[in-house]
Amino acid sequence: MQALLITLHIIVCLALIGVVLLQQGKGADMGAAFGGSSQTLFGSSGGATLLGKLTAAAAVVFMLTSLGLTYRAANRYKTSVMPDQTATSAPAPDAAQAPAAEPTPAAPPAEAPPKSE
């Protein structure tokens, strides 16, 4: 399930990038308004609605796969390896059960080497 969701997410990401790059800019219509020809792939006005719908559909699928992947990642580890304890409630260590830490001895003072004359 996780691999299928990741694969679908990557395909939708690439499709969304492609659809956005195929769209014409806002200033492209001004040239056509003053007598210039509109040189779009889908005709003078047919591409705007088709590419707009494809962008919206790809964006919705992208959002849904993003939410699905987030949900799966957040709920990944709900069980514990220890059968008698849950993952959310671990008991605090008791002071009586904790081993007492032995103090480490300090290093002996270093002796100065004898002076030679």
- Tens-level pLDDT at each residue, the chain (117 residues): 889 999 999 999 999 999 999 887 766 555 555 655 555 565 555 556 888 899 999 999 999 999 999 999 888 776 667 777 655 555 566 655 655 566 666 666 667 667 776
Angle 25-27-32 from CA coordinates, rounded to 5°: 110
Owning domain of residue 16? 1-24+47-74
Would 19 be classed as within a structural domain? yes
Q: What are the helix (H) ranges across 1-117?
A: 2-22, 28-33, 46-74
Would 10 be classed as within a structural domain? yes
Instruction: Count structural domains, the chain.
Output: 1
> What pTM did the predictor assign?
0.51
Would 108 be classed as within a structural domain? no
Would 109 be classed as within a structural domain? no
Chain segment 24-55, per-residue pLDDT in tens: 776 655 555 565 555 556 555 555 688 889 99
Q: List C-alpha distances in Å: 110 to 103, 107, 113, 115.
A: 21, 8, 9, 15
